[in-house]
Amino acid sequence: MRPTLPTLLSFNGGYIDTVGYLFLQGLFTAHVTGNFVTIGAALVFGTSGIAAKLLALPVFCTVIIVTRLVSFSLPARWPVFETMLTLKLLLLLVAAALAIAMGPFANGDTGPAIMVGMTLVSAMAIQNGVNRIHLGAAPPTTIMTGTTTQMMIDVADMIRGVRGVAHDAWVPPSRVSPWAPRPARYSSMRSASGVLRCRLL
C-alpha cells in the first residue's frame, strides 16, 4: 500500500460528502448516519431532501453486503482491492455525468436528485468497506460511523457461514477461538447504545 493512498481516499471522502451536502439539499453521502440529524432539521424547517436521507442508510448497508459477497466470487486474476476501487471510480463518474446532465437540484426529493445521491452513497459505501477490510492499519478515510460498516461486513460473512474474517487474511475455522466475541452481536450492541445516547441528548 502506498502511503499516499489513504490520504487520497480521505480527500475524496471529504470532497464527495461536502458536494452532496451543498448540492443535494444537505445529504451526507459518506457520513450517512449524519442524515438522521439533518432529517430532524428538514422536518422542523420544512426543507426538501427527506426521502433521500431516509434511503441513504439502507442503500449504504445493502451495497456493503452485496460487494462483500461478490468479492468472494471474483476471478483470481481480478484483485479484490483494485476491483472495488475501480467500481467506486465508475460510480463516481456515473454520478458526475448524471449531475451535469440533470442538475442543479433545487429539490432534494426529485428522482434525479435521489438517483445522483444514491449513486454517491453507493460509491462511498464501497470506499468504507475497502478501508475497513483492506486498509485496516490506516485511519478511516471518511467520517462514516465505522460500526455500521463493520456490521454490514459481518452480516455478509454470516450469510456465507464464516466468522467475520477479511478475504485477504483468511483464518481456518479451527484457529478461531470459541471464546472470540461474535462481531455482529457486539457491533449491534455498540450501535444500539449510540442511538440511545443520541436520543437522550
- Greatest C-alpha distance within the chain: 56
% of the chain beyond a pLDDT of 90: 23
The Cα–Cα gap between 74 and 69 comes to 10
Please check the confidence at residue 101 and state whether its pLDDT lies above 90.
Answer: yes
User: Any residues with CB less than 8 A from the CB of 5 and at least 6 apart, and which?
Assistant: 135, 138
pLDDT digits (tens, 9 = 90+) for 171-184: 344 433 343 344 44
CA distances from 67 to 17, 57, 62, 129, 141 (A): 21, 15, 9, 9, 18
% of the chain beyond a pLDDT of 70: 73
Mean pLDDT over 92-106 rounds to 93
Please check the confidence at residue 165 and state whether its pLDDT lies above 70.
Answer: no
How many residues are recorded in the chain?
A: 201
The Cα–Cα gap between 58 and 49 comes to 16
The whole-number pLDDT of residue 186 equals 42
The whole-number pLDDT of residue 147 equals 60
